[in-house]
Amino acid sequence: MTSVFHSPSQLDFSDLAPRADPTFTGSAAFASLTVSGTASFGSGLTVDAFPSVVAAAQMDSGAALTLPASSAVLRVRLTGNATLTLPAMSVLPANARTTLEVELVQDGTGGRTVAWAAGSGDTIEWDYSAVAPAIAAAAAKETHFVFRRRAGSTCWYAAKIWQGV
């Protein structure tokens, strides 16, 4: 009698995730991923002992600009007095944090002002104050901010981290 059960030969998954050990070249989805050493991902994200993120291209503010959620570092040139709205965020997984760094730069005219707004249902809480700190006013000067939000919160915690003189 012949058995209907058999042991499959060695499985070959090379067509599913082509790779040049230890680098994957293709698309892969992971429920969880642990990286030891250095790993580079698409869109300029590199993970190593000191992570670096490639910023999105500079964008002009106009009178109002909703910041995109597609980059962790954004550079905004103030081309007029502007209201900048933080991106609407989806629900973060448990224990997750998201950080957004915004580099503001005055255009060649300078003297532009900025007002900050949160996405729908969110709020902004400023470091040591109920109001946003002042920004550098001179032409071409920069002011940098960090915004951070944690899972289960609808509050962006915000701080000015640097300002040109």
Of 89, 51, 52, 49, residue with least CA distance to 67:
89
How many domains does the chain contain in total? 1
**Is residue 156 situated within a structural domain?**
yes
**Is residue 108 situated within a structural domain?**
yes
Overall average pLDDT of the 143-165 stretch: 95
**Is residue 22 situated within a structural domain?**
no
Indicate if the pLDDT at residue 16 is higher than 80: no
**Is residue 120 situated within a structural domain?**
yes
Indicate if the pLDDT at residue 27 is higher than 70: no
Q: For the chain, how far is it from start to end, CA to CA, in angstroms?
A: 89
> What proportion of the chain, given as a percentage, has pLDDT over 70?
68
| DSSP state at residue 139 | T
**Is residue 17 situated within a structural domain?**
no
**pLDDT given for residue 54 in this prediction:** 75
**Is residue 60 situated within a structural domain?**
yes
Residue 69's pLDDT band (cuts 50, 70, 90): confident
**Is residue 72 situated within a structural domain?**
yes
Range of the domain at 129: 43-163
**Is residue 88 situated within a structural domain?**
yes
Average pLDDT of every residue of the chain: 83
Please name every residue paired with 100 in a beta bridge, in sequence order, or none if there are none.
Answer: 147
Indicate if the pLDDT at residue 5 is higher than 60: no
pTM of the entire structure?
0.71
Q: Domain containing 139 — which CATH number?
A: 2.60.120
**pLDDT given for residue 31 in this prediction:** 62
- Return left, alpha or beta for 104; rule: phi > 0 is left, psi -120 to 50 is alpha, else beta: beta
Percent helix, strand and coil across the chain, each rounded to 5?
0, 40, 60
